[in-house]
Amino acid sequence: MKLARNSRRCSTVDGDGKKERAPPFRNPFVHDIRFTPLQKAQIAVMTVTLFPIRLFFAAFMMLLAWPFAFLASMGRSEKVIEEPLSWWRKVFDVLLKVIMRAMWFAGGFHWMTVKGRQALPTEAPILTLAPHSSYFDAIPVTMTMASIVMKAESKDIPVWGRAFIPAVPVQPVVLRYPNKMDTITWTWQGPGAFDILWLTLCQLHNVVEIEFLPVYTPSDEEKKNPALFANNVRCLMAKALEVPVTDYSFEDCQLAMAEGQLKLPAETCLLEFAKLVRRLSLKPEKVEKDLEEYGERARKTKGKRLDLEGFASYLNLTVSDTLKDMFALFDENEDGTMDAREYVIALSVVCKPSKTLETIKLAFKMYESEQDQTILEEHLACILKTALGVSELNVTDLFRAIDILEKGKITFNDFNDFAEQSPDFAEEYLYPEQTGFLSSAETPSALIANGFCTDFSPEDQYEEERRPQRKKLN
């Protein structure tokens, strides 16, 4: 298997109007807060003094707002949502804004810096907000009392598509929290929801900057291509925030943070593979049940390599630009052929990132000899390189440790027994000198906007950027 990794940080637009992006400079799934002794003492004092008062007052304001919001929405359907507000609804609107502003004041947001001008609904009926890194991002929503737009399948973030399908002018709005200590950002790995609330309410003052960028009017091409429209607006907002743009999603977070026995190393390219899987509409939760079937079909090929048309037939898909990109990831010899077994292994990792042994067991079934259900060292190397998404991997020491009888071949039971006895075999045998695992958050934080920290790019990333584009794996 040979996954291609684009070493350039620039982006290009493909035939579907989607942009290919290299991994970001910093891990957006990890937020590590470190306190000085003085800061810890301040938090301790605030916890027993200001925190309970602020929490009570904020909760009271939220409860007070509920009946007004309920009355303001009575008799209002989606069909009349765009009609002008009646005078009494406008009164409730003002009252709600006052109540919400009092709630944020209680939370330590005593004043808010607002840059730019909010466009009128006739100029831009849609406001698009970024980045969504905290529940304090609701501040501009309560200021404008705008309706929230999202897909019904809200779990399938990002939500850019439905905000852009109408092809109307939008006004980008960006948020910044330039506080000395970032207690605002809420990520997958780091302080939990209550911890974020507690730490933020323990700060004397919390700074927030809201910037209304100029209205963005889509071109004729963007009106026909919502994905292109969304990506162009997103790049504009990222430039304003001075942060990198990434296509990583919640599924990528699960993959990157998985605590299986094969923790993904820093240079893995499986995230690129996962992105293409989504673009092919091969939802991991939907294809997981089909993995055994994929594996059985791949086993029957006995290593026979497929061309592009054969790969499309194998997946029951038509040839497309996205499928060509997927095929290129596995074109080991750059001869227009690939091994379907490697695709199944990578797909299993993406579908079940924390279930390492299930992936390895599936791989053994595809590679093992029919006579004695064993595999050779070269097969183990291919399996593990594909499962980890790396270009080079020396498995000799690991294979010898498993093959205690020196038969030159091993079974899955041999591998499983060894894994149970040595649960940290990956770190010990595969990459003992490498410490840059995606799931690690031990490195000190190097904060950029909104607290994205823990660099998971290789230490020689900048050297890689100077090199020509290169292939990964084998």
Please check the confidence at residue 7 and state whether its pLDDT lies above 50.
no
> What value does the mean pLDDT of the chain take?
77
Per-residue model confidence as pLDDT tens digits over 25-41: 456 677 888 889 999 99
Residue 217 to residue 232: CA distance in whole angstroms: 11
Which one is predicted more confidently, 156 or 349? 349
For residue 173, give every residue at least 6 positions away whose Cβ sits within 8 Å of its Cβ, in sequence order, or none.
127, 128, 129, 130, 140, 210, 211, 212, 213
The answer to whether 343 and 369 are in contact (CB under 8 A) is no
Provide mean pLDDT across the span 318-336.
Answer: 88
Average pLDDT in the 327-347 region? 89
- What pLDDT digit, counting tens, does each position of 269-298 carry? 787 888 888 888 776 666 777 888 888 888
The per-residue pLDDT for 82 is 53
211 neighbors 130 (Cβ within 8 angstroms):
no
Q: Where are the domains positioned within the chain?
A: 29-245, 252-464
Measured CA to CA, the distance from residue 210 to residue 127 in angstroms comes to 13
Reported as a single tens digit per residue, the pLDDT across 405-449 is 899 999 999 999 998 888 888 878 876 554 444 443 333 333 333
pLDDT over 50 at 215, yes or no: yes
Q: Note whether 438 and 264 are within 8 A (CB).
A: yes
Task: Report whether 241 contacts 131 (CB < 8 A).
Answer: yes
pLDDT digits (tens, 9 = 90+) for 364-407: 999 999 889 999 999 999 999 888 887 778 889 999 999 998 99
